[in-house]
Each structure stands twice: as structure tokens, then as C-alpha cells.
Amino acid sequence: MMRADKRSNDEMRPISFQADFQLHPIASVMASFGATRVLCAISISESVPRWRKEQQLPGGWLTAEYQMLPGATSPRGEREVSRGKISGRSAEIQRLIGRSLRAVLELSKLPEITIHVDCDVIDADGGTRCAAISGAGLALELACKRLQKQGVLSQWPLRQRVAAVSVGMLQDEAILDLCYEEDAAAAVDMNVVMCSSGRLVEVQASGEEASFSEEELAKMMGLAKKGLRQIFDASEELLAKGLL
């Protein structure tokens, strides 16, 4: 099988992270996985959700939101505000982003603040949730550095880095980092969220009108780990610039 863009099955698309794309957020990162681009921004509000107060949970909170710009897809996507509510798909993705980041964040080491993570898809070509998690992880690290300097944080709250990648089964072959065309045709779609230590945070494998064997699951997991290494390497670029 020849992939649409001639990549080999275990090859990522070009990855890049551009820091400080926006003016106002504490930190923002434009994450690119090939043609997919997601703008990830970190803002702070000085309170925690009521349920945390009521349960007297110490520390802060982190919450994520995910939306696509209407022009991020072709044909144009309707704005969710026009239908009055966020779609099931967006709700599911923003819950995943939040859980993934909280897995590496020690909430008890935060003061009583909420960290808002906004992931807005500028261009969608497959893998938007993975680009969002990977970019948001870096933006969060960058924000923590700055909040530490400003004295808002008195302890370092991040345990390690986090990133995400998609893998799938297409024509009985396992492939890494699916573009939209591949994603639409794949029999199985899998997302893996991993810490820089190699420990897993989320594994979601899903067959739409299809099923898969344990061997296929293992093959996809192997590819995912390979891709995640490349994503962690790409983040070194920001490190080299003294940002992280």
C-alpha cells in the first residue's frame, strides 16, 4: 500500500511547535502535524470550580476546551454556537485533552487557580486531538515556567511531558499519524497519549463498523510509541530556544 503522501507506514508528518502565537495568553503554542494546525493557549482565572470547593479538594484545577474554526474543514463546518450547544465529538475531545494534561499535573501543587486550555483548530487534516494534546502540553509547561517566575507558582507542578499520536489499521496495515483521507478510510482508529517516561495516559482504540485483533492492537501500539518519541524530540526545539 502506498500512502497518500508517500510516507512509509511508520513515518510521522513534519511536526513543529511555534510558541507565543497569541498576544494575551500566558503562553500559546501553534502545533502543526503536517497540514493540521491547532492553536493551544493557556489562561488563568483566580478561582476553582464550585465542586472542588464543596469537596474541599486542595490546590487548583485544569480544564480544556476544543473547537474548530468553521474554515478548518472543507466543506465549511457550522459553528457550534449556532446550534446552541457543543457537539458530542467536541465534548469528548475536550474531556480527553483535560484528562491527559491533568495526568502529568499535580493539582495539589497549584494555588487556588483554574488553568484554562483552549485548543482551536485552524486547519484540520486528521489528528487534531493529538496535535492539541501535544501542543497544549508544551504551552502548559511554558506557562508554568512563567507563572513560577512571577511567583504565582511556588512549586513545580508538572511531573513530566505528555504527547499524543494517532495510529490506525488501513487495508490491514498499521499506519502512523493518519491524515484526514486515511482517517476516513481506516477500519480502526487509535489514539495513544503517553508521558515522556513512556508510561501511558490514555489508550483509545475504536473500530467504526469493524473490529481488530490483539495482534493488530500491539502493532499499532508499537507504531504509536515510535511516533511519540518523534513528537517529544520536536519539542526540544522550543527547549533549545530557552523557552522551556
81 binds a copy of itself (CB under 8 A): yes
Q: What is the C-alpha to C-alpha distance for residues 241 and 138, in angstroms, rounded to an integer?
A: 13
Query: Out of 154, 206, 236, 239, which residue is the one contacting a copy of itself (CB under 8 A)?
Result: 206
Residues 113-142 that bind a copy of itself (CB under 8 A): 116, 118, 120, 122-125
Angle at 171 between CA 167 and CA 173, to 5 degrees: 50
- Which of 8, 23, 50, 51: binder of a copy of itself (CB under 8 A)? 23
Return the range that interacts with a copy of itself (CB under 8 A); candidates 9-17, 166-174, 206-214, 235-243.
206-214
The C-alpha atoms of residue 32 and residue 41 are separated, in whole angstroms, by: 14
Q: Given the complex with a copy of itself, which of 191 and 235 has the nearer CB atom?
A: 191
Tell me if 183 contacts a copy of itself by CB under 8 A. no
Q: Which stretch binds a copy of itself (CB under 8 A): 146-154, 170-178, 211-219, 226-234?
A: 211-219
**Contact region with a copy of itself (CB under 8 A), list: 5-13, 37-45, 146-154, 233-241:** 37-45
Q: Out of 3, 38, 94, 129, which residue is the one contacting a copy of itself (CB under 8 A)? A: 94
Q: State the pairing for strand pair 27-33/15-19.
A: antiparallel
Residue listed under C-alpha cell 476546551? 65
Element (H, E) at 137: helix 128-149
The HSE-up count of residue 35 (CA atoms within 13 Å, CB side) is 11
The DSSP symbol for 109 reads G
Could you give the CA distance from residue 191 to residue 172 in angstroms, rounded to a whole number?
Answer: 18
CA distances from 157 to 80, 148, 196 (A): 33, 10, 15
Please give the residue ranges that form the binding site for a copy of itself (CB under 8 A): 21-25, 28, 35, 37, 39, 41, 43, 45, 65, 67, 69-76, 79-82, 84-86, 88-89, 91-92, 94-95, 99, 102-105, 107, 116, 118, 120, 122-125, 195, 197-214, 217, 221
